[in-house]
Structures are given as C-alpha cells and as structure tokens.
Amino acid sequence: MSDKVALITGITGQDGAFLARLLLEKGYVVHGLRRHASMSNLGRIERLIGDDAELSQRLTLHYGDMSDAASLTRVVAATRPDEIYNLAAQSHVRVSFATPELTANIDGLGALRLLEAIRVAGLEQHSRYYQASTSELFGQARDVPQNENTPFYPRSPYAAAKLYAHAITINYREAYGLHASNGILFNHDSPLRGESFVTRKVSLGVAAIHLGLPQSLVLGNLDAQRDWGHAREYMEGAWRMLQQPAPGDYVLATGVATSVRNFVELAFAEVGIALDWRGQGEDEKGFDRATGRCLVAVDPACFRPTDVELLLGDASKARRELGWAPKASVQDIAAEMVRADIELLSRRLDPGRW
C-alpha cells in the first residue's frame, strides 16, 4: 500500500470520481477540491466511494475554486501533495462558446494558478503535476491518427483555453524542473458522464424510450467522429504518467473512430431497436425499423459555431512507455451506459422498489 498524498481538482466530476477511487484503493490519502453548489455535486463520489468506510476515511474535501488563487495556494500548502491532478474545468465545448471568458479563466488561468501555488509552497521538487489536456487541441488537424507530434489547431474557446494550460505546464516543467505531465486524452465516457455530453444524452434518451417514457432524442452533428474509451481506464493511464521517472506528454486513445450516428445505433441496439435513417443534415431523422416511430431528430440549436469533425488517436507512446492499453470497446461503453441509465431511471420512476 502507498503512503502518498494526492490532491485532485475536479474531484466531483466523472474523471475525479474514478481517479479518487483508484488512488484510495492504492492506499493514497486523497484531498479533493470542491466548489460550493446550491444542490449537492457529490453524487458521483458517493456512487463510487460513499459506501466504503475504509476508503472514505482517507478522503478529505476542501472548498476552493480554480478562479480563486488564494484558495488553491492554501490547499496546496496545507496538504503538501506528492501528486496533484488538475482535472477541474468548464469542460463542455459548446458551452465554451457561450462563456468563453469564464472558460479561459478556469481552464487556462486556473492551471497557471495551481502551478503557481506549487511554487509558492516551495514544492517544485516534491509534487508531481498532471494536467488534463485534451484531444480537442488537435481540432481541425489534418494528420490522422493524432499523436504527441501532431500540430494543434483548436476550434473552440475551450480548446484555446486548454492549449494555454498545456503550454504553461510544459513551461513549468522546463523552467522550474517540475515533474509536470500533460495527458492528451481522447473522449472517455462511462455511466458517470455529465448528462449534456453526447454519449450520456444518448444513453439517457435510449433508456427513457425503452422504459416507455414519451421521449425522442434531439441531437446536433451526427457526422462528427470521436475516439471513445472508458474513463476508468484513462484515469489509470493518468496515474501511470506520474509514476514515470521523468515527466512527459502522452496521448491516451483507443485508435477507433466512431460517428455520433453510429454511437446512437449502438445504444439503441442494446435495447433491441434497429434504426432506419432518412433525410439529410438538419432534416435527418432516425426511425424504429420495427414500428416506424421517429426516435431521433436533429436540431440546429445543438450544433456548434465550429465543430471538430474527426478525432482519432494514436496511443503508441503510452503503450510503449507506460504499458497502458485500453480494453473497453465503444460497444462495451454504449451498452454499459444504457444499462446503467435504465437502472437509474427505473429507480427514479419507482423509488418504492429500491
């Protein structure tokens, strides 16, 4: 068992919950940054850790915010972490077009504030730092598959903010000798995925339709292709980056691209529904082949001013240096998410049964 101390920002998010569980299972003492919310934002942590008293007793949450340098400085100085994982972000690409300044502040300057907190505490030679970098940096890149040498071409305020965080992480590594690594992670999902991301929107919609709720699925760009892996496996990769003798930047990806349309088909297949697609672009619709009922429609409001059409990663460096390889396929992930949402919605519909 480890006696290390870790600090996770974004611990209440999808990845934060998986990473916290992984580190606690390895024996770490885990500190997490949480922000105040008018409704509890601890659901994911409670789902993964809550019922395990042994793990919970080594987990402490601290109020703080990536926009508040003093709170970060205080938490870093008080906890003196061996490893710091910066997962906190306004992580929704479409929302970043509506809130570009906030996104730059949290996702870009937030990373800088955390890195400075490490310096202020004099921990440059002690703490190892992980930055949640993203395949969105590649954006419109012409080279496919994308790896650590592919030039960046950000296509959203989110990606531009993350580009700053990526660059400043490398600068602190080179300027101050900090063990700081960027994990350039392609999309990774799970039943804990936020409900406004496309995979979860689809799994919730399919579960609702399966349970007979009056629902159809309204989506945007069905042609976009993503390289979808499982969040639990990607957090294992993030941890491995910080166990290396030297810091570095690593792509984590499956090497398989799937269109949004195909993901929708996989999710419906889990409940035995086959789709027929008719129409094109904004008029495209998906019909239940057996009943003719319209189940999927396209709404221009779900499109982005600029989207990323194809992300497909080459994780050979992670495979070689970290011994990391993804196992879950996109089919596995779609099926797991749909099953989990059927259970979740069943419980909501009939709380007395549980």
| Residues of the shown chain interacting with ligand GDR in the complex, contacts defined by CB under 6 A | 91, 93-94, 134-136, 186-187, 196-199, 201, 219-221, 224, 226, 260, 302, 304, 307-308
Catalytically annotated residue among 28, 85, 130, 158? 158
Does 73 sit near ligand NDP (CB under 6 A)?
no
Count residues near ligand NDP (CB under 6 A).
26
130 marked as binding residue: no
Q: In DSSP terms, which residues pair with 33 in a beta bridge?
A: 9, 62
Q: Which of ligand NDP, ligand GDR, none binds 342 (CB below 5-8 Å, type-dependent)? A: none
264: nearest Cα among 198, 182, 349, 215: 198
Q: Which is nearer to ligand NDP, 87 or 296 (CB)?
A: 87
Whether 158 is catalytic? yes
Q: CA torsion, points 343, 327, 155, 206, in degrees to nearest 10?
A: -20
Q: Which is nearer to ligand GDR, 223 or 332 (CB)?
A: 223
Catalytically annotated residue among 83, 124, 136, 265? 136
4: nearest Cα among 114, 113, 79, 116: 79
Pairing mode, if any, of strands 285-288 and 294-298?
antiparallel
Structure tokens at 76: 């870093």
Pairing mode, if any, of strands 128-134 and 294-298?
unpaired
Whether 265 is catalytic? no
CB of residue 139 to ligand NDP, shortest distance in Å: 13
Q: Which is nearer to ligand GDR, 3 or 195 (CB)?
A: 195
312: nearest Cα among 324, 294, 330, 332: 330
Cα dihedral sign for 255, 261, 262, 265? positive
Whether 130 is catalytic? no
Residues that bind ligand NDP (CB under 6 A): 9-10, 12-16, 33, 35, 37, 41, 65-67, 87-91, 106, 132, 134, 185, 187-188, 194
The residues assigned a catalytic role are 134, 136, 158
Annotated binding site: 129
